[in-house]
Each structure stands twice: as C-alpha cells, then as structure tokens.
Amino acid sequence: MEEDKYRTVNAIAEGLYKEKGSRFISFIYPVKTEEEIKDILTEIKTKYYDARHHCYAYCLGANRERFRANDDGEPSSTAGKPILGQIVSNDLSNVLVVVVRYFGGIKLGVSGLIQAYRDAAADAILHAEIVERTVDEEIRIRFTYVVMNDVMKVLKEEEPEVLSRNFEMECEMTLSIRQKDMPRLKERLLKIESLAIEE
C-alpha cells in the first residue's frame, strides 16, 4: 500500500460473540484523535454501565504509529491484545474497537478469553464497511483579487478540496490535498505573485 493511503471503516459497526453464558458485544468506530476515543469510551461505559468489562484497542495514523490496548480488569493480555491483533491483521487504522463483556457466571480461562475477545472484535470488523482513505494535508493561502484567475486555474488542475473561502478585503482559502500531491500544489501556487501560504 502506498505511504499516504490507509484502510479504515466508513461508519460504526457492531458484532457479537457468545460463550458459556457470557456475551461479548463489540463495536468498531472510525476515529482520528485520542480526544474522540475518550468521548466514545465514556459514552459506552455510561450506556453499558452494568457490563463487567469494557476492553478496547485503537490504532491512529496512516502507519498505525499511535496505538493502545486495554484489558479493563481482564487477565493481562487476554482482551486488549487480541482486539489490537484483529485491527492489525485486517490492516486497519484510525479505528477504535471496544468489546463490552457481560459475564455469564462461568469462567472461560485465559485461552477462552483470548478467543472470545478476538472473535468479538473480528465480528465487528466483518460487519463494517472498509474503505481506503488518503492522508491529506491542509494549507491556507492568501492572495489579492488581481491573481484570482491564476489561483483558480491551479486549483482546477490540481483539484484540492476547498475547505473554506473568504473573499472580503483579501482572498483567503483553506485547501486540503493528498500528502503526495502537496509539494506540487505548493510549488505551483508559490509561482503566483503576491500569494502567501500558511501551514
């Protein structure tokens, strides 16, 4: 896979695994920040307050440079690690997988737990729509009306996404484009007289 592409999920999906009376309800979320993850975990713990465990794992960044696994009271490495393993083996990033466990009264043992959390995570992933995304970068540009046509010509040819525009006293735009295309876009824009780029 190219450096500036990654696989993630399009929307929240849910899975389920049952074993000896225990229910493992799993969820996968598309996420971009740790703050977002904290909010989702708080929400899940509130909604499923009567569950015994809320175990999770996440990977952030196109190359999964930030990741974490949490067993939430289950024996060490029996929950978070198998969940993380499913994220990695499905080559996903910018996702959070949470597995909520309702205890059924019968202990599953270490290998039983590992299998249950792994299979619950796999079921959520199975129900998710996996999509390919590009790593995008943003820049803000400022320019005068005089060069508007030159700017628009470059934008038409390079096709960045226009996130915002403000054409009052001076023209300002926020643009987003795939990481590998950014150097060429900048180079072409900087050739335009009086145009300034802010990153």
Question: H or E element: which one contains 87?
Answer: helix 80-89
* Cα 183 to Cα 178: distance, rounded to the nearest angstrom: 10
How confident is the model over 4-46, as pLDDT tens digits? Answer: 889 999 999 999 999 999 999 999 999 999 999 999 999 999 9
Convert 123-161 to b/e letters by CB count within 10 Å (16 or more is b).
bbbebbebeebebbbebebebeeeeeebbeebbeebebe
Q: Domain containing 169: what range?
A: 135-198
Which residues are 177's β-sheet partners?
137
When divided into structural domains, the chain yields a total of 2
CATH code of the domain in which 143 resides = 3.30.70.1150
158 and 81 in a single domain? The answer is: no
pLDDT, mean of residues 134-146 = 93
Is the pLDDT assigned to residue 1 strictly greater than 60? no
* Cα 54 to Cα 27: distance, rounded to the nearest angstrom: 11
The whole-number pLDDT of residue 88 equals 97
Q: What are phi and psi of 112, to 5 degrees?
A: -65, -40
How confident is the model over 58-76, as pLDDT tens digits? Answer: 999 988 899 999 999 999 9
The whole-number pLDDT of residue 17 equals 97
139 and 124 in a single domain? The answer is: no
Average pLDDT, the chain: 95
144 and 123 in a single domain? The answer is: no
